[in-house]
């Protein structure tokens, strides 16, 4: 079975999308429509902005969404998904690609999500850290025994887990994890504690917008981050999207479930090739490649 994967925040790069814009009339129309929806020239930042410009959450998230969704649309009949998944933000790209969400509604939700997350980040100093070389259970146990808020946030692949929470708690957890034998426990240059309880204010803001958005039954199952299993029920899709802001990204578990359910060919669509790299660490036996 063919599975398509869509990247999340961190996949952005300078000049992203310019080649798509210049090579296709459809892409050009969609980029112009995006500028109208957002009320600012995101194309200008994507095509000409600096790495620093692209790092702003309110720019990064819609930029990655646009690159991913337009890339999928340009594949035309070549795009025949039997299952889809997206890493964090990528879940919105996956839903548009699976015809569960319109391009316009997807972009509006992504922008609202980005703004709500930005606001939540500004409310309290918080951060994330990558932990390499430890079993998930060890990382979880260390986090549970640290004072303050720090939780497992991104299960990226075996031996690579991202933790998220209050600055002091994350720093203390990093020290404790190094003592436990972590190969690395490194604070990441991010705006805040994504996929942690500190995103509760963003979750409350976004919940109403998601519930009011028209989401249809997707053309194929979507494996959602919060539950790591196939979902096709539109109401369940909405609830999982809301839960996703404070729940961990169960990426390893999602990919393992997709393979168990018959996934044999995995194609990454969108900027970068981070997910293709993670696939090879999760399971080397299945085909994994960057498609667009």
Active site residues: 88, 195
Scan for tokens 């963003």, then name that residue. 202
What's the Rg (C-alpha) of the chain? 18
Q: Provide the pairing of β-strand 184-187 with 2-6.
A: unpaired
Give residue 202's region: left, alpha or beta (phi > 0; psi -120 to 50).
Answer: alpha
Residue 24: which residues within 8 A CB-CB, separation 6 or more?
A: 74
Structure tokens at 104: 């316009």
Token pair recorded at residue 257:
């479930």
128-164 burial: b if 16+ Cβ within 10 Å, else e: bbbbeebebebbbebbeebeebbbbbbbbbeebbbbb
Q: DSSP string of 61-72?
A: HHHHHHHHHHHH
In sequence order, which residues have a C-beta less than 8 Å from that of residue 204 and are 6 or more positions away?
none
Q: Is 149 helix (H, G, I), strand (E, B) or coil?
A: coil
Containing 119, the helix (H) or strand (E) segment is helix 103-123
CA separation, residue 242 to residues 107, 143, 156, 198 (Å) = 16, 24, 20, 14
């Amino acid at each position: 079975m063919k599975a398509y994967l869509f990247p999340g925040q961190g996949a952005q790069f300078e000049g992203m999308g310019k080649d798509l814009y210049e090579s296709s009339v459809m892409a050009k129309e969609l980029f112009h429509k995006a500028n109208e929806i957002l009320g600012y020239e995101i194309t200008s930042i994507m095509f000409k902005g600096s790495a620093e410009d692209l790092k702003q959450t309110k720019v990064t998230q819609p930029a990655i969404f646009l690159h991913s969704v337009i890339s999928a649309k340009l594949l035309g009949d070549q795009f025949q998904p039997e299952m889809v998944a997206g890493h964090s933000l990528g879940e919105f790209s996956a839903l548009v690609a699976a015809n569960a969400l319109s391009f316009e509604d997807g972009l509006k939700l992504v922008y609202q999500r980005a703004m709500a997350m930005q606001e939540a980040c500004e409310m309290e100093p918080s951060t994330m850290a990558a932990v390499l070389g430890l079993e998930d259970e060890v990382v979880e146990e260390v986090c549970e025994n640290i004072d303050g808020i720090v939780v497992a946030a991104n299960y990226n692949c075996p031996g690579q887990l991202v933790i998220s929470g209050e600055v002091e708690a994350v720093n203390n957890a990093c020290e404790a994890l190094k003592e436990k034998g972590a190969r690395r426990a490194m604070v990441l240059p991010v705006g805040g504690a994504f996929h942690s309880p500190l995103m509760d204010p963003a979750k409350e803001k976004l919940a109403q917008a998601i519930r009011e958005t028209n989401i249809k039954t997707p053309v194929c199952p979507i494996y959602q981050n919060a539950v790591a299993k196939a979902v096709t029920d539109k109401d369940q899709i909405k609830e999982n999207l809301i839960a996703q802001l404070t729940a961990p990204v169960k990426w390893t578990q999602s990919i393992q479930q997709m393979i168990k359910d018959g996934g044999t060919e995995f194609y990454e669509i969108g900027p970068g090739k981070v997910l293709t790299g993670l696939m090879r660490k999760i399971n080397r036996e299945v085909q994994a490649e960057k498609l667009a």
